[in-house]
Amino acid sequence: MTCVDPTPMDRRGVGLALMGWLALTFCAALTGVFVSTGGWYATLVKPSWNPPGWLFGPVWTALYAMMAVAAWLVWRRGGWKAQRGPLSLYLAQLALNALWTPLFFGLHRPGLAMTEIVVLFLAVLATLIVFWRVRLSAGLLLVPYAAWVGFATFLNFTIWRLNP
């Protein structure tokens, strides 16, 4: 693949596309706006290794940014026409990501959220693999996300078991 310096119009389009992927990806976090994490969650028994509440915002901000850049890098390899499969899988895992918060915090259903987060984790791994095949850096950008969702899966399971 040859590297050609894009024209100013091309650079603007590429930058707008990155902004679009960032906006779309951060929309997954909007489900948290409608759900309170206090009250019920504060009463749950949690493991000693449960992260402090202040950590989740910065971690998810960094993860969503890396996810968006990964999707954008894949998109740059031919757009939707060439990358329909990987980008559709990305959108599917993003929808699963958005669903977990209402299930766990909104419905107070850690067991149901546990089932969903396992599906999410598998979708994240599948996305990481297909992104890796399209562009190594895109796959690498999803490694921290996969690790965090794996950790969150174990945390969800532990909270579910500690609070029958």
pLDDT in tens, 70-97: 999 999 999 999 999 999 999 999 999 9
State the total domains in the chain.
1
What's the Rg (C-alpha) of the chain?
18
More confident residue, 19 or 33: 19
Question: Considering the domain boundaries, does residue 97 fall inside one?
Answer: yes
The predicted pLDDT at position 38 comes to 66
Mean pLDDT score across all residues of the chain: 92
Tokens 């757009």 correspond to: 79
Question: Considering the domain boundaries, does residue 8 fall inside one?
Answer: no
Domain that residue 20 falls in: 13-162
pLDDT band, very low/low/confident/very high, at 149 (cuts 50, 70, 90): very high
Question: Considering the domain boundaries, does residue 5 fall inside one?
Answer: no
CA 132 to CA 120: how far, in whole Å?
18
Residue 5 has pLDDT above 50, yes or no: no
The predicted pLDDT at position 12 comes to 78
Question: Considering the domain boundaries, does residue 111 fall inside one?
Answer: yes
Tell which residue, 21, 30, 28, 20, has the closest CA to residue 138: 21
pLDDT in tens, 117-148: 999 999 999 999 999 999 999 999 999 999 99
CA 161 to CA 154: how far, in whole Å?
11
